[in-house]
C-alpha cells in the first residue's frame, strides 16, 4: 500500500461514482428496498400511505448502505492501484423479487451484484508484483461486507437508544443480511472473488460476520460493547495487514 499522502491524492483524482456505477446501483437500490419493505405495507390491513412511507425510508437506508460499501471498496482499491466499479447481477435481482413474492417477503435475500476491479497501469508502476494480484483483489472485495458490518454497528448503536426506530432496525437487519449474502461464493458476488483470492481468510471472515450478527442482534449492552471492541480490532488489524502486504 502507498503512503497516506499519495493515497489521499489518488482519492482526490479518481474516487468518484461514474455512469457505470450508477447504472448498476439504481436497479439494485430499487429492488433491495422493495424486497425489504415488502411486509411493511400496513400492520393488519393494507395501507398505501404507510407502505409508501416505509418504502421511501428503505430507499434511503439501502442507498446509503450501497454507496458507502462501494466507496470503501473504491478507496481501498485505489490505494492498491485498482479502479473499482459496481456491476449489478440481474439474475440475482430477479431471484430476490421471486423469493419476495413467493415467501411474502419472509426471505429478504440480498444478492444485488458485486464489483469489478480493473488494473490501473499508471498507479501500479514500481509496485511489488506489478500485475493483477488475486490476493489484493480479495482484500478489495472484503471491504464490501466489512463496510456492511461497520454500518450495522452504527445502526445498532442508534437502535440501542431508540429501540422503536423503523430506520435503525431495518438498517441493522439489511446490512447484516447483506454482509452474509455477499460472502456467498456466487457469480458476480464478492464472496467468489474473496474465496478464490484467499480461502483461509475467507473462512475467518465468515466466522467474524456470524459473530457480529450474534452480538448485534442480541440487542444487549454487553453484546454492543463487545461488537464495538471487535470492530475496532478488526479494522486496525485489516489496515495494518494491508500496509504490510
Three cell numbers, residue 167: 430506520
More confident residue, 8 or 28: 28
Cβ burial 199-208 (10 Å sphere, 16+ → b, else e) = eebbeebbeb
Percent of the chain with pLDDT over 90: 44
Is the per-residue pLDDT at 244 higher than 60? no
Please tell me whether residue 115 adopts helix, strand or coil conformation. strand
pTM of the model: 0.88
Alpha-carbon dihedral of residues 167, 169, 171, 173, nearest 10 degrees?
-150
Residue 10 belongs to what domain range?
A: 4-244
Q: What is the pLDDT of residue 213?
A: 87
Is the per-residue pLDDT at 226 higher than 70? yes
Cβ neighbours of residue 208 closer than 8 Å, sequence gap 6 or more: 149, 230, 234
CA angle, corner 198, sides to 193 and 203, nearest 5?
100
Give tens-digit pLDDT for 67-113.
999 999 999 988 888 899 999 999 999 999 999 999 988 888 899 99
What integer best gives the mean pLDDT of the chain? 86
How many Å apart are CA 147 and CA 175, to the nearest integer?
9
Cβ neighbours of residue 161 closer than 8 Å, sequence gap 6 or more: none
Give tens-digit pLDDT for 159-181.
989 989 999 999 999 999 999 99
- Structural domains of the chain, count: 1
Amino acid at each position: 500500500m502507498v503512503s497516506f499522502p499519495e493515497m489521499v491524492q489518488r482519492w482526490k483524482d479518481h474516487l468518484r461514482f461514474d455512469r457505470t456505477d450508477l447504472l448498476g446501483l439504481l436497479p439494485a437500490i430499487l429492488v433491495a428496498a422493495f424486497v425489504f419493505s415488502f411486509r411493511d405495507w400496513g400492520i393488519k390491513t393494507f395501507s398505501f400511505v404507510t407502505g409508501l412511507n416505509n418504502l421511501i425510508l428503505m430507499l434511503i437506508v439501502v442507498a446509503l448502505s450501497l454507496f458507502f460499501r462501494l466507496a470503501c471498496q473504491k478507496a481501498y482499491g485505489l490505494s492498491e492501484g485498482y479502479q473499482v466499479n459496481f456491476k449489478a447481477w440481474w439474475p440475482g435481482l430477479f431471484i430476490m423479487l421471486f423469493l419476495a413474492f413467493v415467501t411474502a417477503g419472509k426471505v429478504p435475500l440480498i444478492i444485488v451484484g458485486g464489483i469489478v476491479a480493473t488494473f490501473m497501469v499508471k498507479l501500479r508502476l514500481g509496485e511489488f508484483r506489478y500485475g493483477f494480484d488475486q490476493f489484493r483483489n480479495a482484500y478489495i472485495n472484503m471491504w464490501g461486507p466489512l463496510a456492511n458490518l461497520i454500518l450495522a454497528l452504527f445502526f445498532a448503536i442508534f437502535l440501542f437508544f431508540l429501540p422503536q426506530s423503523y430506520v435503525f432496525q431495518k438498517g441493522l437487519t439489511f446490512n447484516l443480511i447483506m454482509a452474509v449474502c455477499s460472502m456467498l461464493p456466487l457469480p458476480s458476488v464478492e464472496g467468489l472473488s474473496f474465496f478464490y483470492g484467499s480461502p483461509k481468510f475467507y473462512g475467518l471472515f465468515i466466522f467474524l460476520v456470524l459473530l457480529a450478527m450474534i452480538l448485534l442482534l442480541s440487542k444487549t449492552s454487553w453484546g454492543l460493547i463487545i461488537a464495538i471492541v471487535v470492530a475496532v480490532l478488526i479494522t486496525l488489524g485489516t489496515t495494518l495487514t494491508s500496509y504490510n502486504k
